[in-house]
Structure 1
Amino acid sequence: MGFTKPHLPQVDPETFLHEPLMERMRVLALDWVDHGFGSPRMVHTVYILKLVMFYVLGGVIVATATSNLPAFWHVSQWWDQPIVYQKIVLWTVLLETIGIAGSWGPLAGKVKPMTGGILFWARPGTIRLRPFKWLPLTAGDRRTPLDVALYVALLISVAIPLFVPGAHSDSLSEAVPDNTSGLVRPALLIAPILLLILNGLRDKTIFLGARGEQYLPALFFFAVLPFVDMIIALKLLILVVWVGAGVSKFGKHFSLVVPPMVSNGPAVPFTWLKRAHYRDFPRDLRPSRVADFMAHVGGTTVEVVAPLVLFFSTNSRLTVAAVAVMVIFHLFIVSTFPLAVPLEWNVLFAYATVFLFLGFPNWHGYALTDISSLWLAVLLIAGLLFFPILGNFRPDKVSFLPSMRQYAGNWASAVWAFAPGAEAKLDKVTRTAKNQVDQFVDFGYEPAWAEVTMQQVIAWRTMHSQGRGLFSVLLKNLPDIDTRTVREAEFVCNSLIGFNFGDGHLHNADLIAAVQRRAGFEPGELVVVWVESQAWGSKLQHYQVIDAALGVIERGTWRVADAVAEQPWLPNGPIPLAVTWTGAPRPRVRDEQDHGHGALA
């Protein structure tokens, strides 16, 4: 691949697209090993420039210029200022809520336009996904002028404390007597907290897009806790995020995440190093021992042990070493450009590591034992652990984001299978983006190559544990699968609601029902296979087959062990499936108040 030219698989596209589906998956999975998504270096350069110039430099300039601090290049005079950390968090919340941070650009399936977020959420008539079907005043799935007003009000409410100078804080002055910049005014944080909750109750997409599961607790701590307690609470928050993500990587899924992630990393220059993550390229694409080591030593162990060291250490050298480990950990993730592109989030966490654990170390009075009340510590720990524990035991009830399963490989996910030509019916949905294949054509790809590019994404899905199960269900249920157009649901979701972060709850039966009310698919024209995350204590994953016109027509399970043991292209046929329920086909009722599932689902 070049700076402006993508890598394209070495196939004749017209002939290739007439091959059987799983043969296409084999060719594209093998190509992914060496080339990843094949994006031109220009794409990665755009992301780096946005990250460095807009997010980092822009955020630091805003934070320092509005806080009576020296210019941004005097790093030693602002890096440990609490108001700078508060404003960097607010800056991140603002960008995430607009939709120009995570899940942005071509690597997230957004080519023209590159932004989702605000282009959907500030537009009446687009799809809205409420989290609780029983909650009054949230009925329907169509965005109203009220929803738009609430969303715009949220953006304004976040911008105000970001740009308004700080105020004196007695608790800060007592802990840091020479501080002159103060803290963000607590009263200015009430509106963004309430508006983020209100927006989330009307549309879970906005709450999750703003990364409310992490930034809402931080804003709450900024608003209500005295300074020392605030720092300790922020340490607890980042500890729960890290350790929750690390614990979620236990099991069989995560080893399969690492090889395709490394293969997609533009900073990995050697083909042999990419292939070393696979057991026996090109015959066996299961993870090698190198991948297992990267996953469970370089990943899981680091993400659990280093944060615990940071949280409890009173030794300065040990703390500095653990800080360095976690900063490198987050920068490595940035270098791989994962498809959800959470680059800003990783940079924020790298800075937070330095700010919290070196700027306010445990031995200076910021350890858990220095909190003002034992009961406060208990409440903080219980509150921060509630959704991760609930979400891991009942993944059907809680999004994988509040469950703290970021990039663990244990995702709810799906693939959509359209009858020939039926994908065009999505154009009836009110949105601000075309189908991704049409976006690539508009960008300059020939139609056949645009289709091959979109099939690279589903090949990426087959390289993960869920992919082997999802495609097994497709093969079992759709004898005409080789003639259908198969799409990765995460990318489809991005074109329909403007955001996805790998969370299958954003494209579950609720979204499919909302799309059906607008697109009007005939029975059989759109069949979706959707699977829930694996729950703690279970060896199974539960899937659904959803006909857009008929609703759920089959439920069943597969064993995770069977999925991870197979090759991406299923050379031995579908993995074993256990059908637990089949429903009599019946047309969907065109009712915007269909019942769905789940708290924060």
Structure 2
Amino acid sequence: MGFLKQDAPVVEDFDAWSQGSRAEKIVPMAQHWAQVGFGTPVALHLLYATKILAYAAIALMIVLLTPGISGVGEIEQWWTEPIVLEKVVLYTMLFEVIGLGCGFGPLNNRIFPPMGAILYWLRPNTIRLPPWPGRIPLTRGTSRTPVDVALYAALLVMLVVALCGSGTGPIASLNSSIGVLPVWEVAMVVALLAACGLRDKSIFLGARGEVYGSLAVAFLLTGTDIIVAAKLVLLTIWFGAAVSKLNRHFPFVISTMMSNNPVLRPRWLKRKFFTHFPDDLTPSWISRWVAHAATAIELCVPIVLFFSHGGWPTAIAATVMVAFHLGILASIPMGVPLEWNVFMIFGLLFLFVGHAGIGLTDMHSAWPVVLFAVLASTVVVGNLSPRTVSFLPGMRYYAGNWDTSLWCMKPSAAAKIEQNLVAIPSVPAAQMKKVYGGTKTAALYQYMAYAFRAFNTHGRAMFTLAHHAMAGRDEADYVLTDGELITSTAIGWNFGDGHMCNEQLIAALQDRCDFEPGEVRVVLLDAQPIQRQTQRYRLVDAATGEFESGYVRVADMANSQPWDDTIPVYVDAHATRN
């Protein structure tokens, strides 16, 4: 890869390549990805690194402007003040809910502009997706109203107000001379986040409510209960993420992520993460070992942190977890959850090193345990029934196992989306043409995106099921687009979450675009429940509804190659075609 130039795949005979089947066209793209990754220019990685530094610098500035906080040279006197963590939590929530964090920029296929979120959520008539419109009063509908805009704006204003606030005074049990923000300020943030989330789940997910919202709730408590509750939140995050990786999918994430790692530059080294390049691109023993080691670290080391209460066990455990998050950060993973990893490093140092001595025996109420029970229950339900819980509150982070979708659309459907949606960016195919300056190059990168998806186990199922979705029709009439990209265009935010590109979004687009039968056909693939070795799927025509359902086996996906789109599909007996 060059500093400014993309390391693009080379196809010597483009005409011959373009005449191949989809699977045949993915083969050279997958082989290129295995030793280069997406080929991102170094300058783009530096852009993301600069964004991380800017995030950290602004956080430090906000903390230093807090009354009672002295300069950087006296950091040892104030870095464990509870208001420091409190403001970093609220600042990071603001950073994320504006759209500057997860899902930002070209590495999340968001190019013009590099973010959505605030550009959509302050704009009436954009699409909103209420989580329970049939159960929660005053949440029906999918069109953003002035009320929704006002709620979101109020959340932004309240976060800024809190970040400018002062501490309420000394807290002896925390050895604090400054204290924490007034409870009403944090309560208002939590209430507004909840109100926004009930009207539009994308705002709650975009704010990373399961992380920063939960930590904000911890600051509604008093004394040592704040620290205990915050420790339990981080413990749940790590434990939930580790449990979700107990599957056959995660080694595929490792091999794919290492291929795209800007630090591991030699091609020969990247090829080592695959069984036998270029013919067998399943994960090698190295990828599997790294996956098992990472899972063990995330599962076991946080327990040591939580119960060690200082000394060399805490020092070793904290060092391991810092290295763990730095490893993720250095890979600049697709979806770019970069600032989240920076926050987790700061959070673990603040809570488990700076306040190592505070544990369960220091609780003065049961509320920390109640918060933990709510989060843990969500994780359990999310693993047992992933279709009912987003992978974010389910804390199934980067496990290779989340709900996904693939949209088979005719060009006429893309035109209708352009004409009828209140949205900012154009559909993904049009953006690619603008960036790469020609149909041929854009086609290559379109198939590079297909290869990336196919490197994950669920990609093989999605491309297989695409044949079912377009059965009886000319597949050349359709353009296949990842559901995450449709979601990005439609609602302004996406982070690998199939819960935002399911039947609810299909219906919202149908209401606005009036697709003809067969014009848009969508593959919806549920994540794997932890107790089963299968994944359910549904095929939906935007105009006429679901017309097929069934399941695929995880073993069949895990034993296939990225270009394999013929894995066995088990169709439900009641399925009907139209």
Does residue 577 in structure 1 map to residue 573 in structure 2? Answer: no
What TM-score do the two structures reach when normalised by structure 1? 0.92
The structure 1 residue matched to 2:488, chosen from 490, 494, 498, is 494
Indicate the SS of the match to 2:5.
coil
Task: Spell out, residue by residue over 1:264-291, the C-alpha distance to the aligned partner (whole angstroms, 9 max, x if none).
Answer: 1111111122111111111111111100
Query: How far apart are 1:584 and its partner, in Å?
Result: 5.8
Does residue 456 in structure 1 map to residue 448 in structure 2? Answer: yes
| 8 Å Cα contact 1:67/1:83 also seen in 2 | no
Does residue 560 in structure 1 map to residue 561 in structure 2? Answer: no
| 8 Å Cα contact 1:543/1:555 also seen in 2 | yes
The structure 2 residue matched to 1:407, chosen from 381, 398, 406, is 398
| 8 Å Cα contact 1:562/1:576 also seen in 2 | no
Aligned to 2:342: 347
Aligned to 2:323: 328
Aligned to 1:442: 434
Task: Spell out, residue by residue over 1:23-58, the C-alpha distance to the aligned partner (whole angstroms, 9 max, x if none).
Answer: 111121111111111221111111110110x20011
Indicate the SS of the match to 1:582.
coil
* Structure 1 residues 156 and 274, CA gap change in structure 2 (3 angstroms): same
* Structure 1 residues 499 and 243, CA gap change in structure 2 (3 angstroms): same
| 8 Å Cα contact 2:225/2:368 also seen in 1 | no
Aligned to 2:351: 356
Indicate the SS of the match to 1:348.
helix
| 8 Å Cα contact 2:550/2:569 also seen in 1 | no
CA distance in 2, matches of 1:245, 1:494: 24
Aligned to 1:33: 34
Task: Spell out, residue by residue over 1:407-432, the C-alpha distance to the aligned partner (whole angstroms, 9 max, x if none).
Answer: 11111001111235542322021101
Does residue 217 in structure 1 map to residue 208 in structure 2? Answer: no
In structure 1, stretches of 5+ residues that fail to align are 586-601
Does residue 538 in structure 1 map to residue 535 in structure 2? Answer: no
Aligned to 1:97: 97
Aligned length: 573
| 8 Å Cα contact 2:105/2:111 also seen in 1 | yes
Aligned to 1:188: 185
Indicate the SS of the match to 2:282.
strand
| 8 Å Cα contact 1:468/1:575 also seen in 2 | no
* Structure 1 residues 377 and 212, CA gap change in structure 2 (3 angstroms): closer
| 8 Å Cα contact 2:548/2:571 also seen in 1 | no
| 8 Å Cα contact 2:228/2:368 also seen in 1 | no
| 8 Å Cα contact 1:399/1:505 also seen in 2 | yes
Task: Spell out, residue by residue over 1:446-477, the C-alpha distance to the aligned partner (whole angstroms, 9 max, x if none).
Answer: 23312322321121111111111111111234
What TM-score do the two structures reach when normalised by structure 2? 0.96
Root mean square deviation, CA, Å: 1.7
CA distance in 2, matches of 1:462, 1:117: 28
Aligned to 1:598: none
| 8 Å Cα contact 1:199/1:207 also seen in 2 | yes
The structure 2 residue matched to 1:513, chosen from 499, 507, 521, is 507
CA distance in 2, matches of 1:123, 1:265: 37
CA distance in 2, matches of 1:7, 1:421: 32
* Structure 1 residues 581 and 253, CA gap change in structure 2 (3 angstroms): farther
CA distance in 2, matches of 1:483, 1:584: 19
Q: Taking every aligned residue pair, what percent have the same amino acid on both sides?
A: 38
CA distance in 2, matches of 1:103, 1:580: 39
| 8 Å Cα contact 1:520/1:549 also seen in 2 | yes
CA distance in 2, matches of 1:16, 1:152: 50
Aligned to 1:128: 128
CA distance in 2, matches of 1:351, 1:163: 21
Query: How far apart are 1:74 and its partner, in Å?
Result: 4.6
Equivalent residues in 2 for 1:194-343 (5 A)?
194-223=191-220, 225-297=221-293, 299-314=294-309, 316-343=311-338
Task: Spell out, residue by residue over 1:289-317, the C-alpha distance to the aligned partner (whole angstroms, 9 max, x if none).
Answer: 100011111x1001011101101114511
Indicate the SS of the match to 1:322.
helix
Task: Spell out, residue by residue over 1:565-587, the C-alpha distance to the aligned partner (whole angstroms, 9 max, x if none).
Answer: 1111117x3334333442464xx
CA distance in 2, matches of 1:25, 1:497: 29
The structure 2 residue matched to 1:465, chosen from 457, 466, 480, is 457
Aligned to 1:589: none
CA distance in 2, matches of 1:256, 1:553: 31
